Amino acid sequence: MDNIRIYPDPILRKKAQPIENIDGRVKDVAGRMAAVMYANKGIGLAAPQIGILSRILIVDIGEGCNVLINPEIVGGEGESVMEEGCLSLPTIEVSVKRMEKVFIRGRNLEGKDVNLELFGFPGRVYQHEIDHLNGILIIHHISRLKRELLIKRMVKDLKHSQKKGSIL
Ligand SMILES: [Zn+2]
Ligand 1 centroid, distance to 129 Cα (angstroms): 6
Ligand 1 centroid, distance to 132 Cα (angstroms): 7
The pLDDT tens digits along the chain (168 residues) read 999 999 999 999 999 999 999 999 999 999 999 999 999 999 999 999 999 999 999 999 999 999 999 999 999 999 999 999 999 999 999 999 999 999 999 999 999 999 999 999 999 999 999 999 999 999 999 999 999 999 999 999 988 887 765 544
Closest-CA residue to 150 (of 104, 103, 89, 107): 89
Catalytic residues: 129
Q: How far apart are CA 66 and CA 70, in angstroms?
A: 13
**Which H or E run contains 95?**
strand 94-98
Rounded (5°) CA angle 120-116-63: 70
pTM of the model: 0.94
> CA torsion, points 81, 66, 32, 14, in degrees to nearest 10?
-40
Q: How far apart are CA 168 and CA 166, in angstroms?
A: 6
For 36, the 3-state DSSP assignment is helix
Ligand 1 centroid, distance to 25 Cα (angstroms): 23
